[in-house]
Amino acid sequence: MAETGDGPQRGFFDIWSRVYDLAPVQAAIYHPVHDAVLGELRHRPARRILDVGCGTGDLTDRLRRELQPEVVAGCDFSAGMLEQASARTRAVRWLQGDATALPFADGHFDAVTSTESFHWFPDPDAALREFHRVLGTGGRLLVALVNVRVPATSQLAHAGSKAIGQPARWPTRAEMAGRVRAAGFTVERQNRILRLGGILIPTVLTVGVKS
Ligand SMILES: C[S@@+](CC[C@H](N)C(=O)[O-])C[C@H]1O[C@@H](n2cnc3c(N)ncnc32)[C@H](O)[C@@H]1O
């Protein structure tokens, strides 16, 4: 079913889910980002982790296998992505839901991760408020995506993606930090992630803490 207006269309992701897990796609694009998130959580463990915009669940399942927390949940609005995710494992709690209205109680998690998804969320500030709501005090937010270098690139990319019917917003690093702070987090750090094409278009992991 398609979202209307400025929102991404779920059908696009349902189709994408069919090629998403191809090894070269994962190795070049997604694994360096997942490794960065796993590294952070190894350093500061969490017991209850929610992965938002989990896609086919590659990171979500690695969170479970490699960190062995008490609870791992994966949430995505695409039925196609979740179908692939639940075929991967039943040990994760998979839930269909929108990042801007998460189907979880207040304070339920102590870490929220979101990799390569945030730029698709139709209302990024509403999503950040939801991440804040579902985290307990001291809970950590780890959100990784391309952070463009200058606001003009961000505006151009948004206009271009909107024109082709799949609107996305890639913020600058400073804008991302500002949005995370405005949602009530302290920004602990922003780490650059090295991956293919990363010099031209940097990917950044922003870590926020709910105080
Ligand atoms: C590029 S994939 C990233 C998947 C995964 N996080 C990873 O790193 O491999 C982006 C995901 O965001 C999901 N998504 C986009 N908009 C969403 C929304 N508003 N709420 C929940 N999920 C959304 C898509 O369905 C898709 O699975």
Q: pTM value?
A: 0.90
- Is the CB of residue 55 below 6 angstroms from any atom belonging to ligand 1? yes
Q: Determine whether the shortest distance from the Cβ of 171 to ligand 1 is under 6 A.
A: no
Mean of the pLDDT values across residues 146-174?
Answer: 93
- Looking at residue 199, its pLDDT comes to 66
Q: Which of 56, 76, 81, 123 to mutate to test the pocket of ligand 1 (most atoms within 8 A of CB)?
A: 76
What tokens appear for 73 in the block?
């949940």
- Look up tokens 């927390």; give the residue: 69
Domains present along the chain, CATH in parentheses = 10-210 (3.40.50.150)
Distance separating alpha carbons of residues 8 and 11, to the nearest angstrom: 9
197 pLDDT band, cuts 50/70/90, is low
C-beta of 124 in contact with ligand 1 (< 6 A): no
Q: How many residues does the chain have?
A: 211
- The pLDDT tens digits of the residues spanning 41-97 come to 999 999 999 999 999 999 999 999 999 999 999 999 999 999 999 999 999 999 999
How would residue 22 be classed by pLDDT, with cut points 50, 70 and 90? confident
The pLDDT-based confidence of 6 (bands split at 50, 70, 90) is very low
Tokens of 150: 């200058």
9 compared with 138, residue with greater pLDDT: 138
**pLDDT tens per residue across span 81-104:** 999 999 999 999 999 999 999 999
Closest residue by Cα to residue 171 from 195, 193, 189, 146: 146
For the chain, how many helices (H) and strands (E)?
8, 7
- Compute CA distances 156 → 20, 160, 166, 168, 209, whole Å: 26, 6, 14, 11, 31
CA dihedral 31→124→71→192, nearest 10 degrees, is 30
Q: Is 63 in the pocket of ligand 1 (CB under 6 A)?
A: no
**Quick one: which H or E segment has residue 34?**
helix 31-43
Is 58's C-beta closer than 6 angstroms to any atom of ligand 1? yes
Q: What is the pLDDT of residues 183-193, one digit of tens each?
A: 999 999 999 99
33: tokens are: 């980002």
Q: How far is the CA of 168 from the centre of ligand 1 (A)?
A: 12
Among residues of the chain, what percentage have pLDDT more than 90?
A: 80
Task: Determine if ligand 1 sits within 6 Å of the CB of residue 81.
Answer: yes
